[in-house]
């Protein structure tokens, strides 16, 4: 698959405590996520079961009609059991505070977040707001109210 991903312009301010750190970047041409780095002044140790709100040193202004999602990195999850507690984190287009990452250590050893550690990834995406249309009843569908496993397993269907 080739081609260019559509671009969304995002204003960014690198806060003073992020001085010297690189702006998040796409590691490959068609990556969906920008790797966020920890803008901690000193290493933060996450004990097993511990959590921490880790600063990225970035404040952003997303265009109306977009959001950013803060998602875990699979490598950290696989190797260390470290993930985002509130995944996916939601960055609203009108948020002007610092983007932070709520990490939790679900592994069985201490995990140290060093300055510059790539701790999560941020995906920018279009988003729509719902406009409620109250009605008395909803149209019928083959699924109806079925959910939560109502279609059975793939094996059961064979
Ligand atoms: O992982 C995250 C999640 C949120 N935020 C920031 C941006 C977002 O716009 C704001 C509010 O997030 P959310 O709506 O998830 O939190 P809340 O608990 O509902 O707080 P609020 O009442 O401020 O909306 O916090 C982050 O920096 N990182
Ligand atoms: Mg909220």
**Among the bound ligands, the one closest to the CA of 90:** 1
**1-26 per-position pLDDT tens digit:** 568 888 999 999 999 999 999 999 99
Pocket (CB within 6 angstroms of ligand 1): 70, 86, 89-92, 95, 99-102
- In contact, 63 and 8? CB cutoff 8 Å: yes
Within 11-87, residue ranges assigned H as helices are: 74-80
ipTM over 0.90: yes
Which of 69, 91, 99 should be mutated for ligand 1, with most atoms under 8 A from CB? 91
What is the pLDDT confidence band of residue 158, given thresholds at 50, 70 and 90? low
113, two tokens? 């977040």
Question: What is the atom index within ligand 1 of the atom nearest the CA of 86?
Answer: 1
What one-character-per-residue DSSP string does 54-66 give?
EEEEEEEEPPTTE
Write the pLDDT tens digit of every residue in 32-43: 999 999 999 999
* Partner residues linked to 14 by β-bridges: 58
Pocket test for ligand 1, best of 92, 98, 122 (most atoms within 8 A of CB): 92
């Amino acid at each position: 698959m080739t081609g260019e991903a559509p671009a969304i312009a995002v204003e960014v301010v690198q806060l003073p405590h992020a001085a010297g750190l690189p702006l998040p970047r796409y590691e490959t041409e068609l990556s969906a996520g920008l790797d966020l780095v920890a803008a901690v002044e000193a290493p933060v140790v996450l004990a097993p079961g511990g959590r921490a709100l880790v600063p990225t040193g970035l404040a952003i202004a997303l265009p109306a009609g977009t959001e950013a999602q803060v998602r875990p990195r699979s490598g950290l999850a696989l190797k260390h059991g470290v993930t985002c507690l509130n995944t996916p984190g939601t960055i609203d287009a009108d948020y002007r505070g610092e983007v932070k990452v709520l990490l939790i250590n679900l592994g069985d050893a201490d995990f140290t977040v060093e300055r510059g550690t790539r701790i999560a990834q941020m995906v920018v995406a279009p988003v729509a707001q719902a406009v409620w249309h109250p009605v008395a009843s909803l149209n019928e569908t083959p699924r109806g109210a079925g959910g939560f496993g109502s279609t059975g397993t793939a094996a059961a269907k064979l």
